[in-house]
Amino acid sequence: MNAIFKRRSVRSYTDRPVSGEDIHDLLHAGMSAPTANNARPWQFIVVTDKEILEKMPMDNYTLGVKGAQAAIVVCGDTEKDVMKGALNVIDCSAATENILVEAADKGLGSVWYAAYPMEDRIKHIRELFSLPENIVPYAVLPIGWPEKETEVQDRFDAAMVHENRW
Ligand SMILES: Cc1cc2nc3c(=O)[nH]c(=O)nc-3n(C[C@H](O)[C@H](O)[C@H](O)COP(=O)(O)O)c2cc1C
């Protein structure tokens, strides 16, 4: 639980390499998420090639991936979704959050760069990786060791909680 509370978005990283074992643990965390009908409709693209990382920013708000040591693209397979993609969004979001929390637990930095539902972002990733038609990129997660410490925030807000009635 501590990892959940300390997780913050990290957008700049040191040159320290990220090990294959760490990447494996992040993927393991992602694949441990719950999914509708236990469909596990995800596919993950692990990127460590610097030349590809350079090309990955989808726009000016996702530039951080250029300086990362690695990135994970969380994708969904619409052919595994009985609701034609609607459930994939939820399932892949659960996997994404698991990866972010596991990264925080390891002291690694990451940030959720959503591709979906922005058509221009989806197109960029789709073209860069020549994705098949049934594979939709949902999120790009840069991975690296944080350049600076992030501030832990307590975001519990009792005003957002409704007891027994609205
Ligand atoms: C669906 C989604 C899309 C996001 N897209 C971006 C993005 O395009 N660029 C970015 O820098 N951060 C993006 N973020 C990260 C949010 O800005 C960040 O989570 C939020 O400001 C809260 O900060 P924290 O993650 O440090 O708690 C996104 C987060 C989510 C959940």
What DSSP letter does each residue of 88-118 carry, written as one string? HHHHHHHHHHHHHHHHHHHT-B---EE-TT-
**pTM tops 0.95, yes or no:** yes
Nearest C-alpha to atom 21 of ligand 1 is from which residue?
9
Report yes or no: 143 and 29 within 8 Å, Cβ to Cβ: no
Structural domains in the chain plus CATH codes: 12-146 (3.40.109.10)
CA angle 119, 64, 129 (to 5 degrees): 45
Distance in angstroms (rounded) separating the CA atoms of residues 57 and 71:
11
Ligand 1 atom nearest to 155, measured from its CA: 27
- Cβ neighbours, 10 Å, residue 165: 4
What distance in angstroms lies between residue 113's CA and the mean position of ligand 1's atoms?
A: 6
Output the pLDDT for position 31: 98
Q: Hey, what amino acid is at 35?
A: T
What distance in angstroms lies between residue 61's CA and the mean position of ligand 1's atoms?
A: 10
Residue 129 in contact with ligand 1 by CB distance below 6 A: no
Q: What is the pLDDT of residues 29-70, one digit of tens each?
A: 999 999 999 999 999 999 999 999 999 999 999 999 999 999
Output the pLDDT for position 84: 80
Q: State the pLDDT confidence band at 160, using cuts at 50, 70 and 90.
A: very high
What distance in angstroms lies between residue 165's CA and the mean position of ligand 1's atoms?
A: 31
Q: What is the pLDDT of residues 75-124, one digit of tens each?
A: 999 999 988 889 999 999 999 999 999 999 999 999 999 999 999 999 99
SS3 state at 138: strand
Give the rounded distance of the alpha carbon of 15 from its chain centre.
20
Report yes or no: 75 and 131 within 8 Å, Cβ to Cβ: yes
